[in-house]
Homo-oligomer: A and B are copies of this chain.
Amino acid sequence: MRLDHIGVVVGDLGASGKYYQDLWGVHEFSPTIDEPQQKVKIMFARMRESLSPAIELIQPIDENSAVYNFLKKTGGGLHHICYEVDDLDKSIEHFKRQKALVIGNIYPGAGHQGRRVIWFYTRLKELIELIER
């Protein structure tokens, strides 16, 4: 298991990416990626020469977006943690046994080369994304 990225919800992907670069100055940015499954567009900021997880900036594209309410309620900010796991089906079984709440179904993550993705909400109120290696 590996901590892949931390998701941060923002109102404007372009302005936020610019601010991120000005503030930290040590990142490389992915192109903008459309994730129609979640109705968001995303961009990854990775620290150069670092094994640190990426930061994923996430902008809702409309009111039906998975993060629209989060943005409206909080103004944005830290949203989720994503881990990469070896066997998604095995992880899902285990998470369910531990009473984590599954959100939706498995889908091919547009931001992860189509690898299988699922979402959970833990009893510590963390929103967790799992992607299969």
Contact B47 A124, beta carbon cutoff 8 Å:
no
Give 1 or 0 for each of A115-133: 1 = CB within 8 Å of chain B CB: 0000000111111000000
Task: Give the oligomeric copy count.
Answer: 2
Contact residues in B for A80 (Cβ distance below 8 Å): 78
Nearest CB on B from A84, distance (A):
10
Contact A1 B98, beta carbon cutoff 8 Å:
no
Interface size on A, residues (CB 8 A): 38
- Bound CA–CA A49/B24 (angstroms): 28
Residues of A within 8 A of B (CB): 1-3, 6, 8, 10, 16, 19-20, 22-26, 47, 50-53, 57, 74-81, 94-95, 98, 100, 122-127
